[in-house]
Structure 1
Amino acid sequence: MTAPRPRIALTFGDPAGVGPELVARQLADPATTDAAEILLIGDEQELVDAMADAGVEFAWTREAGTGVPQLIDNDGERPEGGFVRREATREGGLWAMASLRRALELSKAGEVDAIVFAPLNKSSLHLAGMAENDEMSWFETVLADGTSATELNILPELVTARVTSHCSIAEVASLIHHDLVVERGELLKGVLQARGIEQPRIGVCALNPHAGESGKFGREEIDIIAPAIAELQRRGVDASGPFPSDTIFLKARDGQFDGVLTMYHDQGQIAVKLIGFDRGVTMAGGLSVAVCTPAHGTAFDVVGERVANTGAYEHAFATAVGVGAQARAARGDD
């Protein structure tokens, strides 16, 4: 029985960066439209410019269901004279947000199974008026359906999730609580199962050095994290820990874990980027639609040079196809 062919919305990201080139290079590969029905959000000029950036051409249409990418206007305002390249601008941020908003609206209407956005620039987004700390919090605001996002970082060989994310280190301990650890552990299990791992093994990080050393360096491991791991185990999650963060990724590297649940942003990000920066994918988990992007940024320094590494974008697309197909199958859609 074959998996259903999902509908994936693609946006070009910040027009000042390498995103348009990455999207065009992906769409020039016939395997892309074999894997999914593509809804391309932007406008015709952005599409033409993206193909020129990449030095490729491919068929596209404004009609649905033709087997080639369908272009859907983002209803954004294109600046006279086009977008400034290689720098953060308000205009670029507004345009990127318009495309993402349109993609999220399509998901709310049931027309999209997953979204892939090319790299954004947070300075551009904040210049454009985005009040939230990051795009994931903004996704929650646009969807307004009661779901909340947490960031997962995905490599072919390892997935990490976080209990806390974009907050100061001073706030981390106060934000960690039992139910949140359990929720994020179950979310990580679901993502790993969507990748075809029937019973994933999850390692859970400690917060403190040496896992708190029996309370000498803090009691979070004793009072919060270990009881949450026990609850995950009662719910059928193969979770273990808490392990000190300076050793847990050695265990993961050696194949002991399929996923790692970390307590804060850099605890996992440093390891993931060292292991596979050019293959990493960031996914907004916990929302009503999966939203994926390459883990790298807009790479202003190589815009227009056709040397941008496509590995992370290809992996982001493949991840969205897998999760989107699972969501489609769960709904019973053909």
Structure 2
Amino acid sequence: MNMQTLPVVALTLGDPAGIGAELIARLLAKPEATAVANIVLIGDRWLWKDGQRIAGVPVATEEVSTLAEVRGRASTARPAFLAVQSVDPALVQRGQAAAPGGRAVLQVLDQCMDATLAGEVDAICFAPLNKQAMKMGGMQHEDELHHFATHLGVTGYFCEFNTLGELWTSRISSHVPLKDVAGYLSVERIEQAAELIYRSLLANGVSQPKVAIAAFNPHGGDGGSCGREEVEIIQPAVQRLQARSWPTEAPFHGPFPADTIFLKAQAGDYQAIVTMYHDQGQIAIKLMGFSRGVTVQGGLPIPITTPAHGTAYDIAGQGRASVEATWQAFQIASRMGAVRLRAAAITT
């Protein structure tokens, strides 16, 4: 891609008490980062300086006064930097969740989303945040994905995707008690989740996505003797998916028992797995590659990604945080942002 076709990707520094700023410094120290995106970093000046100091990597940036300036820059060889004042450093204690940090995260993310809707930014990649701090700081939702959906006016189905390399996963229920999971299962939700991850893989450049649907009960329900959800809900959903017309051949299969489904993906048979609840997929993904996992916010009108790990308060400020998951999240945001940018060019 040349300069004119590079997607504008907004980066944020995440929770100021965590490892976000040092991760972004390491990310932007990679010379290949500016080759795939026109990068704009949004954050507090003091926090950005602190992140570079902790990481031990000074990063040259080009300051801008508005996000609207970024797309028309003469050169994208340096990341753009938009300085904001979202949190007083005196109110931040490293390694501690607190309301000022949570408010700062919400302020910057909302600014990025507004810029994306205005056509100034094509994708967002945010450094790790802390849900408790965000709730203390005023977030009214169970997690950031629901905050994003409300802010963006989403009325359709949305869910988190967790990715590891070429494997993507989604889930029918997320941050709910395990005792309530069965009540979330429905033919419609499974169908929506499967279609969403399939189309998101297409948007990420996968030409022939294959999606496996997980069972809910042990042994896939053993024909109904160990639970009826497979017979009454999951298999009918798969059949409805298979009966529809898709851009690629036979993309949906299952249900497969949860204790073997990831072996099929590891063998390369599937690029995506739809799981029925949070830990059914998260345990496998994190065992397969915790330091490389990425969360993609699925079902939103704009691409938003983040490393799948948290703020790592226990090592914040020590310069030990691995940048690999952040690098993977940034690359996905860049690819999806490029697709969005090309689609916008076609329609204008």
What TM-score range do you get, normalising by the shorter chain? Answer: over 0.9
Counterparts of 1:80 and 1:74, CA distance in 2: 13
Structure 2 counterpart of 1:180: 189
Counterparts of 1:146 and 1:105, CA distance in 2: 17
- 1:74 touches 1:102 (CA, 8 Å); kept in 2? no
- Root mean square deviation, CA, Å: 1.9
Q: Deviations over 1:24-56 (max 9, x none)?
A: 111122211121011211122222222112111
Counterparts of 2:95 and 2:33, CA distance in 1: 28
Report the CA distance between 1:75 and its aligned residue.
5.1
Unaligned runs of 5+ in 1: none
Q: TM-score, normalised by structure 2?
A: 0.90
CA 1:141–1:74 in 2, change beyond 3 Å: closer, same or farther?
farther
Q: Deviations over 1:124-166 (max 9, x none)?
A: 1121121211111111122224355310011113111112211
Q: Deviations over 1:236-274 (max 9, x none)?
A: 351111011011112212222111110111110000000
Report the CA distance between 1:212 and its aligned residue.
1.4
Q: TM-score, normalised by structure 1?
A: 0.94
Structure 2 counterpart of 1:113: 122
Structure 2 counterpart of 1:14: 15
SS of the aligned residue for 1:151 comes to strand
Structure 2 counterpart of 1:161: 170
Structure 1 counterpart of 2:294: 281
Counterparts of 1:243 and 1:29, CA distance in 2: 40
- 2:297 touches 2:304 (CA, 8 Å); kept in 1? yes
Report the CA distance between 1:216 and its aligned residue.
1.7
Counterparts of 1:80 and 1:242, CA distance in 2: 51
- 1:41 touches 1:74 (CA, 8 Å); kept in 2? yes
Q: Is residue 102 from structure 1 mapped to residue 111 from structure 2 by the alignment?
A: yes
Report the CA distance between 1:4 and its aligned residue.
3.5
Of 224, 229, 246, which residue of structure 2 is paired with 1:220? 229
Report the CA distance between 1:109 and its aligned residue.
1.1
- 2:9 touches 2:123 (CA, 8 Å); kept in 1? yes
- 1:113 touches 1:328 (CA, 8 Å); kept in 2? yes
CA 1:181–1:330 in 2, change beyond 3 Å: closer, same or farther?
same
Q: Is residue 243 from structure 1 mapped to residue 256 from structure 2 by the alignment?
A: yes
Counterparts of 1:172 and 1:156, CA distance in 2: 28
Counterparts of 1:186 and 1:148, CA distance in 2: 10
Structure 2 counterpart of 1:52: 53
Of 55, 64, 69, which residue of structure 1 is paired with 2:79? 69
Task: Give structure 1 regions of 4+ aligned residues with deviation exceeding 4 angstroms.
Answer: none
CA 1:104–1:19 in 2, change beyond 3 Å: closer, same or farther?
same
Structure 2 counterpart of 1:86: 95
Q: Which amino acid aligns with 1:130?
A: M
- 1:75 touches 1:98 (CA, 8 Å); kept in 2? no
Structure 2 counterpart of 1:269: 282
Unaligned runs of 5+ in 2: 65-69
Counterparts of 1:200 and 1:82, CA distance in 2: 47
Q: Is residue 296 from structure 1 mapped to residue 309 from structure 2 by the alignment?
A: yes
Q: Deviations over 1:84-137 (max 9, x none)?
A: 111111111111111111111111212111111111112211211212111111
Of 209, 212, 223, which residue of structure 2 is paired with 1:203? 212
SS of the aligned residue for 1:332 comes to helix
Report the CA distance between 1:175 and its aligned residue.
1.5
Counterparts of 1:82 and 1:45, CA distance in 2: 13
Counterparts of 1:286 and 1:24, CA distance in 2: 29
CA 1:148–1:113 in 2, change beyond 3 Å: closer, same or farther?
farther
Report the CA distance between 1:73 and its aligned residue.
4.0
Counterparts of 1:179 and 1:23, CA distance in 2: 39
Counterparts of 1:52 and 1:149, CA distance in 2: 38
- 1:153 touches 1:283 (CA, 8 Å); kept in 2? yes
Counterparts of 1:138 and 1:148, CA distance in 2: 14
Counterparts of 2:137 and 2:296, CA distance in 1: 23
Q: Is residue 319 from structure 1 mapped to residue 347 from structure 2 by the alignment?
A: no
Q: Is residue 233 from structure 1 mapped to residue 242 from structure 2 by the alignment?
A: yes
- 2:17 touches 2:94 (CA, 8 Å); kept in 1? yes
- 1:281 touches 1:294 (CA, 8 Å); kept in 2? yes
Counterparts of 1:93 and 1:232, CA distance in 2: 40
Q: How does 1:34-53 map to 2 (within 5 A)?
A: 34-53=35-54
